[in-house]
Amino acid sequence: MIGSDILSGMRLWRVWGRWAWLDVKQRYRRSVIGPLWTTISIGVTVVGIGSVFSILWGVKVAALMPHLATGLILWTFLTSVVVEGTGVFANNADVIKSINLPLSIHVFRFIGNICILFAHNAIIYVFVVFIFDVPVGWSLLLVIPGLILYLLNALWVVLVLGVVCARYRDIPQVIQNIMVLLFFITPIFWFAESLGSAQAIVNYNVMAHFVDMVRLPLLGGRPVPETWMVVGAVTVCGWAFALPFYEHKRRGTPNWL
């Protein structure tokens, strides 16, 4: 049955949930503030880039800082899913070979880990709201379906990349370089309107739509219908490919580790 491994892994939510929490604790073992170091790093980056770029571009700090902060928080989540997700099976080779568990449990564990770190980084948004008086209205509720779509896409992306990169170990380096390029052509620390007639760069940038889908509601706005259509199409097409692909390849994945 297609998806049986995924459903089996999902049912073990107590296992991978606890596992994800322990992963975070282990990563920051003997650290006083733990994962908040990542939050502080993003916060310092926002202040540094925001202060300099607001002067260079002649943009008000109150306009650039919220845009930059929310963009970096969301980009950190998205790029972590894509880049770190490539090693979800390769990094757990010993466990996969020694314990008979659904292969997908490692994907849920990884995504749980990323979500915990994302929750810590969201603290920055709270500060931004109060410091820069960001308008918060009913549009904020659109964040909920946006984050659900994030999780749905994160799941199929990691399932596919985990299998492919377990077989071909050079692909993670290629993906990492692609994500660096996408960072600079995605309106994270600049505004899409500044492109003028070249705004097609953003319109055809899938990552830009993923960022705006959640960032705009966080800043009191609403994503355009095209954004929902693009993200929805990626979700449906991604799962249509991922389910049969993962079911066909997962049995051979342990042999590549």
CA-angle at 19, arms to 89 and 215, nearest 5°: 80
- Using the structure block, give the residue that is written with the tokens 């899913």: 81
Is this prediction's pTM over 0.75?
A: yes
What's the pLDDT score for residue 157?
Answer: 95
C-alpha–C-alpha distance, residues 88 and 75, integer Å? 19
What's the pLDDT score for residue 193?
Answer: 77
What's the pLDDT score for residue 132?
Answer: 84
Number of domains in the chain: 1
Per-residue pLDDT tens digits for 121-179? 888 888 888 888 888 888 889 999 999 999 999 999 999 999 999 888 888 899 999 99
Contacts of 44 (CB under 8 A, 6+ apart): none
What's the pLDDT score for residue 46?
Answer: 81
At residue 1, does pLDDT exceed 60? no
Q: How far is CA 34 from CA 14, 30, 121, in A?
A: 23, 8, 12
Find, among 201, 156, 162, 200, the residue nearest to 182 by Cα.
201
Torsion of CA 75, 157, 107, 215, to 10 degrees: 30
Number of neighbouring beta carbons within 10 Å of residue 196 = 6
What's the pLDDT score for residue 94?
Answer: 84
C-alpha–C-alpha distance, residues 152 and 148, integer Å? 6
C-alpha–C-alpha distance, residues 21 and 99, integer Å? 20
Per-residue pLDDT tens digits for 178-198? 999 988 888 888 887 777 777
Task: State whether residue 161 is helix, strand or coil.
Answer: helix
Q: What percent of the chain has pLDDT over 70?
A: 96
Mean of pLDDT values over 101-121: 90
What's the pLDDT score for residue 235?
Answer: 95
Q: What percent of the chain has pLDDT over 90?
A: 31
Q: What is the domain range of residue 164?
A: 4-256
Per-residue pLDDT tens digits for 47-70? 887 788 777 777 788 788 888 889
